[in-house]
Amino acid sequence: MKINRIDHVSINVHDLSEAKEFFLDLGLEVQAEWELDGEQLDRIVGLKDVKTECVGLGMPDGQVWIELVKFHSPSDEKDIQQPSANTLGIRHICFAVEDIETIVANLKKKDTEIFSEIQQYEGSYRLCYVRGPEGIILELAEKIN
């Protein structure tokens, strides 16, 4: 048995347009958009009467695939959660970036929540955590040469 790679990361969102715009602003590109429903999807995800709308976003070099999913049905009974960096479960996605100052400045202009100012971790990285739409947490990491 062998795992070859992570195929994609899926993020369920309420406002697909807002989440899509957030990732486009970071430099990802739309790779595909589609809608799914039907009995086969119901069986795959273990829910009934599923209807989804999806956007696949990737880096220009094709290394990252993020799938944003809007469930039109069934709806989630809970409101959008605002987890902290230490909340249990899958918590953030880390992007290796260049020019972290410009990225963070642009995110601040769009009223993105910045967890802290850019911090240097030892002599290897400059890091910053930000919260995008619907509680999505990103870590930005710029390698120090």
Domains and CATH numbers, the chain: 9-73 (3.10.180.10), 92-143 (3.10.180.10)
The tens-digit pLDDT sequence of the chain (145 residues) is: 877 777 889 999 999 999 999 999 999 999 999 999 999 988 988 889 999 999 999 988 877 789 999 999 988 777 777 777 787 777 889 999 999 999 999 999 998 999 888 999 988 999 999 999 988 999 999 999 8
Specify the DSSP element, H or E, that contains 115.
none
Residue 115's contacts (CB-CB under 8 Å, 6 or more residues apart) are: 85, 128, 129, 130, 131
Tell me whether strands 119-121 and 65-73 are parallel, antiparallel or unpaired: unpaired
